[in-house]
Structure 1
Amino acid sequence: MPALIRLGVLGCASIALRRFLPALTEATGIELRAVASRDPARAGTVAEQFGCRAVDGYDELLDRADIDAVYIPLPTGLHAYWVSRALAAGKHVLSEKPLTSDQVTARKLVNQAEQAGLWLLENYMFLHHRQHEMVRDLVAAGRIGTTRLFTARFGIPPLAPTNWRYRGEFGGGALLDVGVYPLRAATYFLGPELDVVGSVLRTSPGRGVDLAGHVLLATPSGVTAELSFGFEHAYRSCYSLWGERARLTLDRAFTPPVTRQPVIRIEADGHPEEVRLPADHQFRNIAEFFARSVLDDADYRPQARAINQQAELIDKVRSSAVRLPSSHGDARSG
């Protein structure tokens, strides 16, 4: 293994170009070596922009001996095939979330990675922003007392009608795209033993994908979580923990700009307090975490458990859901 991770990228997705590839220019322990696309001209443009090699097609990149790992920002429905191909080619994999659309496939990919001795990491980048660690520290220190309720919201305005997230065959839908953030945050704060008490998915009859949803979860001890998400909303990205003494709230929880200085708000008996934090770069942080984990041959088992637990929770939300029609989704989505 070289002194740093030599990374290749499968595809020129928007999130890669806007967030992840710029972050790599600041990250240590990892270096962008090549980008592949089925459109050679597109690959050439991106490679020139980021100072790496353009590769014609995903298979050619996976065959390269000078690539140690790949980042996969493709639509969700394409993850399983290309993650499996990358692992079979001996590459470590950082895949955009969610890893797959179902628990069975997620478990197969995790098992494939473990058997090959490779790292497969699901890119829940928000977990690598220091603001959440600070929130957890404040809760552990007793600032809100015993936690009674966790709430989270992640909603975005309607997307362009041609966006792949409106297509079921590509793994579209609000649950898999934005709903997974509140779900993962709930397990981060309340633990992995959350069960689904009930869920609602508002579905586009014409497109067959969910456009919004609501989920109620509970721990064995009775702490509850209320989550809402969707593609039909004014932008909102926040969560709160409500305890016996105070309520803690964090805005821009899942996609904070790299220059944003987070503010954690704690309110007890009508007396608000603000805890201000320095800016942080969650995309750079997860790239460096991935690189360190591979280079140091870190214990992969916690990541394997996290991937499987998240996939199981998503399946439970979907299987228990009451499905309601969304009367506006088809008109907006063309």
Structure 2
Amino acid sequence: MRPDALVSAAGPVRVAVLGCADVAARRMLPALTGGGAATVTAIGSRDPARAADLAGRFGVPFAGTYAEALDRPDVDAVYLPLPPALRGEWVRRALRAGKHVLAEKPLTTGAEHTAALLAEARARGLALVENMAFLHHRGHRTVYDRLASGDIGDLRHLTATFTIPPRPPGDLRNSRELGGGALLDAGVYPLRTAMRLLGPGLRVAGAALRLNDDGVDVAGSALLVGPRGVTAALTFGMAHAYRASYELHGSSGRMVLDRPYSAPVDHRPLLRVERDGRTEEVSLAADDQFARMGEEFARMVTDPAAREPAAAASLVQAELVDEVARRALRTQP
């Protein structure tokens, strides 16, 4: 029997969390232990003390090492918040253990590796899903619907920004060996926004990356062009004041959405629409994008037909990241 058939008959998707990363503790574990289509049944870690503390906080068993967690019979799937350079190995090991996988973004550090893992998941009848949780915040639906209804006319240009303050010494995002850097950590958010709003066929017209003394990219920008000439100017970095927003310029108006990438559970995003000399401000409903991501992952686990669009988008995103890196003009202080 295929893995998805086994899970669909067993109730909630039973997930083991491999690692104790901050995003797991702050966002994903609360979402998955809140009840719903997926639930956490174990935590595996290379740091027993930290994992035992985390497991105790959320009332789930500490399963020992990553490998021991994969061997548990009460685990249908795993959530992997490991550093990008380590993700590929454990995605592959989880797939070969017959487990579905929800992995933090980006899936890997390169498109070739991403394509290989997605192909292996497909061949094994398993879901491999990239945790682009922001896409599932319900506030974005309002933007998509209003754009489609012609609120600002035809889309001409997108500006998207995601920047965060400098990370402390020792943070994995400062490590080339672990797959750090602003492009992989923050740049995928505006890139995925451009994919969602401009559609397929994006090309990279130009890019720039600023490197620190260790050769890690800490800031960057990219210019993308869609097949109908719609452009996107993207900014990302981890050497800045915090900023997260995207702005849609249309033929008869514009829309701006605040905090589209890292909205807290209780945050009500503000959508500003300007047209005909008037400004409308709409306070959108708060939402837990990580809970929505958990629901979407569970759907992909139990419904194989739902997997392919997400897999295809993850591969396109990885290819765009590679192209930005190839095209980028690099500078150093």
Query: In structure 2, the residue corresponding to 1:38 is in which secondary structure?
Result: coil
1:116 and 2:139 aligned: no
Q: Aligned residues: percent identity?
A: 51
Query: Whole-Å Cα distance in 1 between the matches of residues 256 and 57 of structure 2?
Result: 39
RMSD: 1.0
1:292 and 2:299 aligned: yes
Query: Whole-Å Cα distance in 2 between the matches of residues 41 and 225 of structure 1?
Result: 46
Please list the CA deviations of residues 71-111 of structure 1 after superposition, one character each: whole Å capped at 9, or x if unmatched.
00011111111101100110000000000110000000000
Query: In structure 1, the residue corresponding to 2:177 is in which secondary structure?
Result: helix
Query: Whole-Å Cα distance in 2 between the matches of residues 297 and 50 of structure 1?
Result: 30
Please state how far the C-alpha of 1:271 moved relative to its aligned partner: 1.3
Count of residue pairs brought into register by the alignment? 325
Task: Please list every run of 5 or more consecutive structure 1 residues that lacks an aligned counterpart in the other structure.
Answer: 328-334
Please list the CA deviations of residues 260-307 of structure 1 after superposition, one character each: whole Å capped at 9, or x if unmatched.
112210112431111222111100000011112212344321122111
Please state how far the C-alpha of 1:27 moved relative to its aligned partner: 4.0
1:107 and 2:98 aligned: no
Could you tell me which residue of structure 2 aligns to residue 18 of structure 1? 26
Equivalent residues of 1:4, 1:295 under 8 A apart: no
**Cα distance, 1:242–1:27 mapped onto 2, change above 3 Å:** farther
Query: In structure 2, the residue corresponding to 1:121 is in which secondary structure?
Result: strand
Equivalent residue for 1:221, pick from 228, 236, 239: 228
Alignment of structure 1 residues 112-151 onto 2, 5 Å: 112-151=120-159
1:76 and 2:84 aligned: yes
Equivalent residues of 1:27, 1:285 under 8 A apart: no
Equivalent residues of 1:240, 1:250 under 8 A apart: yes
Amino acid at match of 2:90: W
Alignment of structure 1 residues 155-174 onto 2, 5 Å: 155-174=163-182
Query: Whole-Å Cα distance in 2 between the matches of residues 293 and 300 of structure 1?
Result: 5
Could you tell me which residue of structure 2 aligns to residue 305 of structure 1? 312
Alignment of structure 1 residues 1-334 onto 2, 5 Å: 1=6, 2-204=10-212, 206-325=213-332, 327=333
Equivalent residues of 1:30, 1:291 under 8 A apart: yes
Query: In structure 2, the residue corresponding to 1:71 is in which secondary structure?
Result: strand
Equivalent residues of 1:103, 1:312 under 8 A apart: yes
Query: In structure 2, the residue corresponding to 1:170 is in which secondary structure?
Result: coil
Query: In structure 2, the residue corresponding to 1:300 is in which secondary structure?
Result: helix
Equivalent residues of 2:125, 2:304 under 8 A apart: no
Please state how far the C-alpha of 1:232 moved relative to its aligned partner: 1.1
Worse-superposed segment, 37-46 or 146-155: 37-46
Equivalent residues of 1:240, 1:249 under 8 A apart: yes
Amino acid at match of 1:311: A
Query: Whole-Å Cα distance in 2 between the matches of residues 303 and 15 of structure 1?
Result: 21
Query: In structure 2, the residue corresponding to 1:113 is in which secondary structure?
Result: helix
Query: Whole-Å Cα distance in 2 between the matches of residues 295 and 3 of structure 1?
Result: 10
Query: In structure 1, the residue corresponding to 2:208 is in which secondary structure?
Result: strand
Query: In structure 1, the residue corresponding to 2:219 is in which secondary structure?
Result: strand
TM-score for the superposition, normalised by structure 2: 0.96
Equivalent residues of 1:193, 1:220 under 8 A apart: yes
Amino acid at match of 2:307: Y
Amino acid at match of 1:208: G
Could you tell me which residue of structure 1 aligns to residue 3 of structure 2? none
Please state how far the C-alpha of 1:30 moved relative to its aligned partner: 1.0
Task: Please list every run of 5 or more consecutive structure 2 residues that lacks an aligned counterpart in the other structure.
Answer: 1-5
Query: Whole-Å Cα distance in 2 between the matches of residues 15 and 161 of structure 1?
Result: 18
**Cα distance, 1:27–1:179 mapped onto 2, change above 3 Å:** farther
TM-score for the superposition, normalised by structure 1: 0.95
